[in-house]
Amino acid sequence: MNAFSRRGACPALSAPMQTGDGLLVRLNPVAGGLSPKQLIGLGESALRHGNGIMEVTARGSLQIRGLTAESARLLAAEVDALGIAVRSGVPVETGPLAGIDPQEIADPRPLAGRIRTAIEEVGLTARLGPKVSVVVDGGGQLTMDSVTADVRLKATRTGTDILWSVSVSGNGRSAKPLSTVDPDAARDIAVAALRMVAEKGREAHTRDLSARQLASLAGWHSFAPPSVLPDISPTRGEISSFTADSLLVANPRVSTSASGETVGDGSISPLVGEMSGRTEGGAVERPHPPIGLFNLDTSHALGIGLPYGSMPAQPLVDLTKQAANLCATEIRLAPGRALLFLGLSPSACASLQATATTVGFVTSAADPRTRIAACPGTPACASGRIATRDIAETIAKQSPDLFDASLTLHISGCAKGCAHPGAAALTVVGDENGAGLVVDGTAKALPAGYRPGYDAARGVAAIAAAVRERHPGETAAACLARLGAANVAELYRRNQ
Ligand code: SF4
């Protein structure tokens, strides 16, 4: 009997996933946020039924760890009793300040709601894989540019009109632009793209769509009425390589984006992946960390980060109780492993921020922990070979000057690399030989040097010492490149 979801599936409340420290559930409130009372209740449930570890993922989902089959059922009942409706179906995500940010171009929530409804109406949820997602980004102080998605809709102002720029397969920088259209057309193109993906099977994403399919999506409204969504998918196996230029389609109702396709710059981010032992789809880059104070005209939002996306439930409960006393109205989960406390006065923000700093939350965007990606590692994950979080804490304390804006470190319990699937300037990865160091590669690469796992921070300290001596004006990443991978690995390996 296996009532639990397989790896790669979505560890929803109704289908928890087995991990190294028991069952894990992930939930997203339909309302987008939680009341203080609800978050306090969730934290108390996590303490009662799990191992007391709560997480916010790179995409802004809440996770509760260390459950058993029975306790997961009790947790689900308590979530229900708290009045928390959780999202199911294809994720259609909006920004953490959606609808309340005076700087946003458009409130994305109505369009997101219409897309959700359309997805259900055409029965797509069961036909799409669990990692297929849609982002509807209204712009503003906290955009969704860092979050990857199969389909992206971004509000754009054209004169007095607000249109939606539609792109597929990527984040705000790497997604391939299709067209810029009105909300009805944006909804139809999004759903049509998902239908094409569904035709290719549950493993498919929009990256698997062919040039012909993408061109048809870009020109969708030149030949189809908005309410009709015919399945125009080609046969399976039709392949796929295309460029943005190939999508230029003349259409009086559609203004095709003039921007060329961009690709990620390979920069390192602590935001990719998540902490469950499986990826959620990932995210790259963080131009505007959701940490600090955000002006909402009549009140403020205070963004507080969870170090490496994780925090024991008790300090989170205590912090939320203080927020409630300070008249916080809502807590939203934010991509970038953070929580946004809403409805606070400036003095209340200062008070809450001071407490959060004291108990170990991330309250400054300059905190070196925001530059370290660390999965749960051992003992939380059964696949882990090194104590990733302990190593990360030691490095953040001992070598904070390693982390200028050019460099992030990935600490991975094993070669799977859940916390940062892409390449990083420095990756410490656990395997049967100890803590290996990969320079400018992924956790899957062959390490260039090893130390015992308990001693990895000392090796990184030697690298930090060398970086400290860098040339005037040189970034940490440039310094490492100048030193060369072999020398960096030698520094790591030799430091006593
Ligand atoms: S990288 Fe390995 S140790 Fe870390 S969470 Fe993923 S599977 Fe577990």
Distance from residue 377's CA to the centre of ligand 1 (Å) = 6
Q: In CATH, what number is assigned to the domain containing residue 173?
A: 3.30.413
In a domain, 199, yes or no: yes
- The answer to whether 109 and 99 are in contact (CB under 8 A) is yes
CA–CA separation, 413 and 152 (whole Å): 32
- Dihedral angle computed from the Cα positions of residues 333, 339, 342 and 347, in that order, rounded to the nearest 10 degrees: 180
**Are 354 and 445 in a shared domain?**
no
Average pLDDT score over residue span 300-311:
95
CA distance 439 to 462: 14
Q: What is the pLDDT of residue 280?
A: 62
Domain boundary residue, one of 312, 342, 365 = 365
CA of 388 to the centre of ligand 1 (A): 9
Mutate which of 19, 24, 412, 444 to test ligand 1's pocket (most atoms within 8 Å of Cβ)? 412
Same domain, yes or no, for 180 and 301? no
Whether 97 is in a domain gets the answer: no
260 in any annotated domain: no
How is residue 420 written in tokens?
């940062």
Domain that holds residue 350: 17-89+272-365
Indicate if 325 and 354 belong to the same structural domain.
yes
8 A C-beta contact, residue 424 and residue 407: no
Residue owning tokens 């799977």: 416
Using CA atoms, how far apart are residues 135 and 156, in angstroms rounded to an integer?
A: 14
User: Cα(430)–Cα(453) distance, rounded to whole angstroms?
Assistant: 7
For residue 276, which atom of ligand 1 is closest to its CA? 5
Contact 87, 80 (CB under 8 A): no
**Whose structure tokens read 């308990």?**
454
Q: What's residue 12's pLDDT?
A: 75
Whichever domain contains 65, its CATH number is 3.90.480.10
If residue 26 lies in a helix (H) or strand (E), which one and from where to where? strand 22-27
Are 401 and 344 in the same domain?
A: no
Tell me: do 233 and 116 sit in the same domain: yes
CATH of the domain at 440: 3.30.413.10
pLDDT at 421: 83
Regarding whether 315 and 200 lie in a shared domain, the answer is no
Could you read off the pLDDT of 406-455 as tens digits, one per residue?
888 999 999 999 888 889 999 999 999 999 999 999 999 999 999 999 99
Instruction: Clarify whether residues 349 and 384 are in a common domain.
Output: no
Residue that terminates a domain, selected from 247, 281, 303: 247
For 402-456, list the strands marked E by DSSP.
409-412, 424-431, 434-441, 449-451
Place of tokens 């859940």: 418
Per-residue pLDDT band at 396 (split at 50, 70, 90): very high
Report pLDDT for 495. Answer: 72
The verdict on residue 83 lying in a domain is yes
Q: 214 with 116, same domain?
A: yes
Q: Give the residue, by CA position, lying nearest to ligand 1 atom 7.
A: 277
Does any domain span residue 254?
Answer: no
Between CA 317 and CA 369 the distance in angstroms is 22
- Measured in Å, residue 376 CA sits from the centre of ligand 1 at 7
Closest residue (by CA) to atom 5 of ligand 1? Answer: 277
Residue 2 lies in a domain: no
Tell me the CA–centroid distance for residue 424 and ligand 1, in Å.
16
pLDDT at 69 over 50: yes
CA–centroid distance, residue 277 to ligand 1 (Å):
5
- Distance of CA 51 from the midpoint of ligand 1 (Å): 18
Same domain, 242 and 285: no
* pLDDT at residue 463, as a whole number: 96
Ligand 1 pocket, mutate which of 280, 391, 414 (most atoms under 8 A from CB): 414
Classify residue 261: in a domain, yes or no. no
Whether 295 is covered by a domain: the verdict is yes
- Looking at the structure, do residues 339 and 381 belong to the same domain, yes or no? no
Instruction: Identify the domain boundary among 365, 393, 422.
Output: 365
The predicted structure's pLDDT at residue 333: 97
- SS3 (DSSP) at 127: helix
State the closest ligand 1 atom to the C-alpha of 413, by its place in the atom list counted from 1. Answer: 3
Q: Which residues line ligand 1 (CB under 6 A)?
A: 277, 375-377, 381, 383-384, 412-414, 416-418
Give Cβ neighbours of residue 96 (< 8 Å, ≥ 6 apart). 32, 60, 142, 290, 332, 333, 334, 335, 338, 340
Do 125 and 224 fall within a single domain? yes
Pair 111, 242 in one domain: yes
- For the ranges 2-16, 91-105, 133-147, 281-295, which has the lowest average pLDDT? 2-16
The domain tally of the chain equals: 3
